[in-house]
Amino acid sequence: MHFTNLGQSGLNYFLLQSILAFISGLVFSVIYLQTGSLWYPIALHFTDDFMRTAHDTAATAGG
């Protein structure tokens, strides 16, 4: 899904986002392997997405 941003943003941002998504995937995988539960990685991914969306919305709104 992150590759869809290639046409919407610059190459540098796309590469940075792809690298960070890869690293996050590795971290989520390690958490899953340690806990045996998908709920922890799912909750962390949701929290990350929620915080980014809230930050982007606040920045767009000028706050």
Look at residue 45 in the predicted model and tell me its pLDDT: 93
Joined together, the tokens standing for residue 60 give: 């767009």
Residue 1 has pLDDT above 70, yes or no: no
Total H helices, total E strands in the chain? 2, 0
Contact 45, 28 (CB under 8 A): yes
pLDDT per residue over 11-52, tens digit each? Answer: 888 888 889 989 999 999 999 999 999 999 999 999 998 998
Reported confidence tier of residue 2, pLDDT bands at 50, 70, 90: low
